[in-house]
Amino acid sequence: MPGDERDLTVAVTGPTGTLGFSLIPLLEADDRVTQVVGIARRAFDPAAYGWSKMEYRRGDVRDPKALLDAFGNADVMVHLAFFLTGAASREAIRSINVGGTLNAFRAAAAVAARRFVYPSSVAAYGFHPDNPVGMTEEWPVRPAAQLFYAQQKAELEHLLRAEAARSARPALYLLRPATVLGPHMVGAKARLPGHLAPLARRVARRVGRFRVPVPVPVPVVPLPLQFVHEEDVGQALLQCVAAAGPPGAYNIAADGIVTAADITRELGMIPLPLPAGPAQFAARAVAALPFLPPVAEWAEVASHPAIMDTTRAKQELGWIPRFTAIEALRDTLRQGLELDPTSPRTGLPLRGNRSPLHMLPSCLVPDILTDAADVTACRRPVGGTSEGWHTRRSVPPGHGWTA
């Protein structure tokens, strides 16, 4: 922390979701943090996870008084409560996301918190045809054409900057994470009805075990993707809590790029890349269909690559991601998914990373498939094979997308 900051109270909205499970264990382990106060709507017992510093309160970010009551002593506020997916009216989504975030910032200002840490998203850049590959933080955040989430992320960045400009406290830290992978990637997002939950949990725990017995061809959109592992996004949040760098915006993504074809290969199937142009057109068309629920707008993500440059977070925040993108994907497949964040993990069996492809005679399996299924592939030098660009920060030539 800057200077000799100690004895910190950190307030966290939405600690029971994906990013909550990435950050709270780090706060628990940090000697400079004395107390963590968390607020979300569901019943939750921090002691079940050994989270001894956390006082948990049930409350809604749409209720300013609940926030002020909970966060009266906060030195730093981390605002994670947000609606990403699920079924809710547009009005309800907006009141949680836009209203709730402004309530949280104003509560932080009212209690004179030193810092307000908020994960925006790569989606804040929108999915515009002129977005370059390797966007730096200087590239403008602009509302997406359709996706409510991306529109609200862009709007909120502008609103929060305007609020923060009014006074010195709290200093505003905006992270822009890529898609977060890891065992808690489902977090508090849309869940299945009660009677289907046990089945869903069983399926999730087998995600990493799923491999087709023989490689079957599957059509895939040739979209380059960035990921970040939940452990690494937690570290980035902690660096902001600790003011390890100046306030401002930071892109957060693992090194390397993964495609839908890579994911298909990881599951033991053969990707058949679709032509990029028609796939891009179809994604825009689906996202723009009238009368569909807001969740359908997520199709817009496939309409243009959103690839960020993360140099600033590394140089100014001192953030060092442990997982590359392909390692984050493999770790997620290896560990399976925890679908119920309100019940402690029971210790899932660790599974091997070898797909059935490795059991076939090598003369029957093209190199590219076994390469992709080999856990060490992501450490190969850049340019040596078709997989070499996992360690690059840019999209390889011939990926088919116009930047």
Per CB under 6 A, residues contacting ligand NAP are 13-20, 40-42, 60-62, 80-84, 96, 100, 119, 121, 177, 179-180, 187-189
Q: Pick between residue 74 and residue 80 the one whose CB is nearest to ligand NAP.
A: 80
C-alpha to C-alpha distance for 174 and 156, rounded to whole angstroms:
10
Residue listed under structure tokens 């890349």: 273
Q: Pick between residue 64 and residue 400 the one whose CB is nearest to ligand NAP.
A: 64
Least Å distance, CB 177 to ligand NAP, is 4
- By beta carbon distance, the residue nearest ligand NAP is 17
Say whether 332 sits in a helix, a strand or coil: helix
Say whether 129 sits in a helix, a strand or coil: coil
Q: Pick between residue 82 and residue 389 the one whose CB is nearest to ligand NAP.
A: 82
Q: What string of DSSP letters covers 187-220?
A: TTS----GGGHHHHHHHHHTGGG---SS--EEEE
Q: What string of DSSP letters covers 266-282?
A: HTT-EEEEPPHHHHHHH
Least Å distance, CB 184 to ligand NAP, is 8
Among residues 155, 154, 61, 151, which one has the least CA distance to residue 108?
61
What is the three-state SS of 78-120?
EECCCCCCCCCCHHHHHHHHHHHHHHHHHHHHHCCCCEEEEEC
Least Å distance, CB 79 to ligand NAP, is 7
Q: Pick between residue 121 and residue 259 the one whose CB is nearest to ligand NAP.
A: 121
Least Å distance, CB 166 to ligand NAP, is 22
Residue listed under structure tokens 């929060």: 160
Q: Which amino acid is at 141?
A: V
Least Å distance, CB 95 to ligand NAP, is 8
Q: Pick between residue 15 and residue 336 the one whose CB is nearest to ligand NAP.
A: 15
Residue listed under structure tokens 């690559």: 305
Least Å distance, CB 43 to ligand NAP, is 8
Q: Is 141 exposed, middle or buried (0-12, 13-18, 19+ CB in 10 A)?
A: buried
C-alpha to C-alpha distance for 359 and 343, rounded to whole angstroms:
37
Q: Pick between residue 149 and residue 389 the one whose CB is nearest to ligand NAP.
A: 149
Least Å distance, CB 280 to ligand NAP, is 22
Q: Pick between residue 176 and residue 284 the one whose CB is nearest to ligand NAP.
A: 176
